[in-house]
Amino acid sequence: MFVKTGITVSPGVAFGEAVILDNRGFHVPRRIVPKAFQEENLERFRQALDQTAQEIQQSREVISQQLGESYGAIFEAHLEMLQDVQLKNKIEKLINQQYAAESAVSEVLQQYQEAFANLGNAYLAQRAHDIEDIEKRILRQLMGDRSWRSRLETLLESTENPIILAHNLTPSETAYLDQTKVAGLATESGGSGSHTAIVASALGIPGIVGIGPFLSHVNYGDPVILDGNAGRIILNPDEKNQEYYRGEVERDQSRKAHLQEAVDLPAQTKDGVRIQLLTNIEFPHEAEQGPAIHSDGVGLYRTEFLYLGADEIPSEEDHFQSYCKVLDAMGDKPVVIRTLDLGADKLSTLADAPCPEDEKNPFLGLRSIRLSLRNLSHFHTQLKAILRASVRGQVRIMFPLISTLTEWRHAKAALNNVKEDLDEQGIAYSPDVRVGMMVEVPSAVLMIDQFCREVDFFSIGTNDLIQYCLAVDRGNKDVAYLYNNSDPAVLRLMKQVVEAGRKAEVPVSVCGQMCSNPVYTMALVGLGFRSLSVPPSALSQIKTVLRELEVDHCREVADKILQMDNAKQVNTFLRKELSQAMSSFEFW
């Protein structure tokens, strides 16, 4: 028996047989061809591009038919990437330098993947998998290898309750998994913010990614247990685990049916206290997807995707069109747009950005609002686009990584300057745009009373608050044990913010991975939060838990954990309380 844990991207439990996909892609060496073959390679590339576009369109139609147009939009984004003129020009430039078509495609798209994968922002780093998907598609067309789908279908037909095991899966490979045949999927690499995760969740296929090496421990047809609720995979389980998980599969089916019942119900506690349940998005099309439509609005719209993978800073019109798509999709619901939240080492095209080697500690360096204030012309461009879009809906502007009151005032001054420019030009914008800030560093918490006098709303970003509070690099495996949502120091900081907001009547929301984990829902409500922002995939689960809680009991729970002195004690207590709160459901 071999047990490993990973990152759950789609909850659920599966018990079946292993189907191993060897899909690590193509290794394409740099190959220079004689100049006489240059035109031939250009033509081969252009044909492959056209054929890939047709294939992506087919993927869009398949997933739209299965799940609806909103999920098909994921492949619309792939199509837009494929049709990007800059991308095509870069590849053709290499071919004109006598690169073989395959080499040019691989070299350029590998550069794009690295640009995304090396980001300080974990969510946006997942976009590397979308680029990988496009690379695989084009190379398959160029190399004539388009048989993987038929091989997969043959394997699925000959396997009972097949569980797909692979090094990684692209969104298109995931989309073509038949949800009536595939019991689950697990990969060695990957992350929670990928489009692969979104598709797997939408298909309802239990999935775990980022497990690390495990394929060498399993053979085709071996029994496999995949516990997506616990993020655990068990290869060749013993009889005791097999017996237990047969019952878990039945309980999981009941659990899913109950979660679906909560989709259209209001997010409120058992004693009738309404909780604003917002969603986090990265791309405009996510606002059109089913889960987001059923939320109370967008609590965090990350705008970084506009800046990445491009040679030039996005124009005002690029910003404006993206924001309008989200606002149109959300109607009269609030949309909180966060300004640029990247480091200078990721945006070398920005003026005055330091060289990456000059940034010894990128997370403590020139990033987020600091970078925006250093490059005011680009900051003004983004703010102007947001204000112009504000006439289309309930826009709120949020500045990230505010450390001092001076920083906040400089950001507000930049916004006021943009308003004056728009007034002079006679361009309309909403006068009611609220302006808030992320609370992510301890200095902001210590000065929260003063911030309350000037800020319209706060949103606590738990991911960074934990990192900066505990002085831990969340990407460093050697100190990962310190990074913990349950740490009492973090909980006390959060309590201080929500209390200050309550007294000053300034709304306080909370976002981050902590929010999407039901273990912490009771604690957050008890601490005083009445607004939560979670990924679309977590909305139904968090809503279901909220509807079983009573606020007075949540307060008692919060009071107890604030007196505890270590994260393990807090986590154990919260899990026990959640289990008791959901005890009326046999399957919980």
Catalytic (active site) residue 195: yes
Decide if 149 is inside a domain: no
Q: Known catalytic residue: 355?
A: no
Residues 414 and 533 in one domain: yes
Taking the C-alpha atoms of residue 387 and residue 12, their distance in angstroms, rounded to an integer, is: 42
Q: Are residues 116 and 169 in the same domain?
A: no
pLDDT bin (cut points 50, 70, 90) of residue 308 is: low
Q: Are residues 296 and 254 in the same domain?
A: no
- Contact between 520 and 574 (Cβ < 8 Å): yes
| Measured distance CA(268)–CA(545) in Å, rounded | 10
Phi, psi angle pair for 6, to nearest 5° = -150, -155
At residue 4 the predicted structure's pLDDT band, cuts being 50, 70 and 90, is very high
Is 564 within 8 Å of 574 (Cβ atoms)?
no
Q: Which CATH number does the domain housing residue 201 bear?
A: 3.50.30.10
Cα(15)–Cα(13) distance, rounded to whole angstroms? 7
List the beta strands (DSSP E) in 339-471.
Answer: 394-399, 434-439, 457-461
- Mean pLDDT within 335-361: 68
Distances in whole angstroms, Cα of residue 420 to Cα of each of 29, 380, 423: 55, 11, 5
Q: What stretches of 406-506 adopt beta strand conformation (E)?
A: 434-439, 457-461
pLDDT recorded at residue 350: 47
CA-angle at 460, arms to 457 and 465, nearest 5°: 145
pLDDT for 178 equals: 76
On average, the pLDDT of the chain sits at 86
Q: Is residue 269 predicted with pLDDT exceeding 50?
A: yes
CATH code for the domain of 551 = 3.20.20.60
- Please give the C-alpha separations between residue 300 and each of 149, 411, 549, in angstroms, as whole numbers: 37, 18, 25
Per annotation, catalytic residue among 511, 515, 553, 554: 511
Three-state DSSP at 529 gives coil
Q: Name the amino acid, one letter, at 390.
A: S
For residue 402, give the nearest of 480, 356, 465, 322 by alpha carbon. Answer: 465
Rounded CA separation 404/255 (Å): 45
Burial call 179-201: b when 16+ CB within 10 Å, e when fewer: eeebbbbbbbbbbbbbbbbbbbb
Report yes or no on 148 lying in a domain.
Answer: no
Catalytic residue among 195, 294, 378, 553: 195
| Contact of 56 with 137, CB cutoff 8 Å | yes
Tens digits of per-residue pLDDT, 79-98? 888 888 888 999 999 999 99
Asked which of 195, 226, 260 is the last residue of a domain, the reply is 260
∠ Cα 33 39 44 (to 5°): 85
Q: Is 170 helix (H, G, I), strand (E, B) or coil?
A: coil
Say yes or no: 277 and 254 in one domain: no
Please say which residue of 198, 233, 260 terminates a domain: 260
Q: Which of 227, 172, 234 is nearest to 203 (CA)?
A: 172
The domain tally of the chain equals 3
Any idea which of 67-76, 241-250, 468-477, 523-532 has the lowest mean pLDDT?
67-76
Q: Are residues 226 and 287 in the same domain?
A: no
SS3 at position 8? strand
In a domain, 586, yes or no: no
Chain position carrying tokens 């006390």:
492
Range of the domain at 431: 271-581
Nearest to 87 by CA among 59, 115, 119, 60: 115
Based on the fold, state whether residues 379 and 419 are members of the same structural domain. Answer: yes
More confident residue, 410 or 36: 410
The mean pLDDT of 114-138, rounded to a whole number, is 71
Nearest to 349 by CA among 317, 312, 381: 312
pLDDT digits (tens, 9 = 90+) for 157-216: 777 899 999 888 776 677 667 777 899 999 988 765 565 666 676 667 889 988 989 988
536 located within any domain: yes
Residue 552 — pLDDT band, cuts 50, 70, 90? very high
* 531 DSSP 8-state letter: E
Query: What span, in angstroms and rounded, lies between the C-alpha atoms of 371 and 378?
Result: 10
Residues 6+ apart with CB under 8 A from 212: 4, 6, 188
> Which residues on neighbouring strands pair with residue 20, listed in sequence order?
165
pLDDT on residue 290 = 67
Tokens of 390: 């504000």
The last residue of one of the domains, among 220, 239, 260, is 260
Which DSSP state fits 32? Answer: B
Same domain, 13 and 71: no
Is residue 309 scored above 80 in pLDDT? no
Domain assignment present for 29: no
Of residues 499 and 32, the one with the higher pLDDT is 499
Within a domain: residue 587?
A: no
Q: Are residues 338 and 191 in the same domain?
A: no
Q: What is the largest CA-CA distance in the chain?
A: 79
Could you tell me which residue, 71 or 378, shows the higher pLDDT?
A: 378
- Is the CB of residue 177 less than 8 Å from the CB of residue 199? no
Q: State whether 326 and 459 are in the same domain.
A: yes
Cβ within 8 Å of residue 94, ≥6 positions away: 103, 104, 107, 108
Q: Which residues of 47-85 are buried (b: 16+ CB within 10 A; e: fewer)?
A: ebbebbbebbeebbeebbeebeebbbbbbebbbebbeee
Instruction: Say if 214 falls within a structural domain.
Output: yes
Residue 163 and residue 125 in one domain:
no
CATH code for the domain in which residue 131 is found? 1.10.274.10
Alpha helices in 29-100 (DSSP H): 38-67, 69-82, 85-96
Residue 404 confidence class, pLDDT cut points 50, 70, 90: very high
Domain shared by 125 and 164, yes or no: no
Place of tokens 């900051």: 379
Dihedral, 163, 167, 172, 176 alpha carbons, nearest 10: -20
- In a domain, residue 26? The reply is no
pLDDT band for 351, please (50, 70, 90 cuts): very low
Average pLDDT over residues 484-493: 95
In terms of Cα–Cα distance, which of 142, 184, 144 is closest to 162? Answer: 184
Query: 482 vs 537, which has greater pLDDT?
Result: 482
Based on the fold, state whether residues 357 and 475 are members of the same structural domain: yes
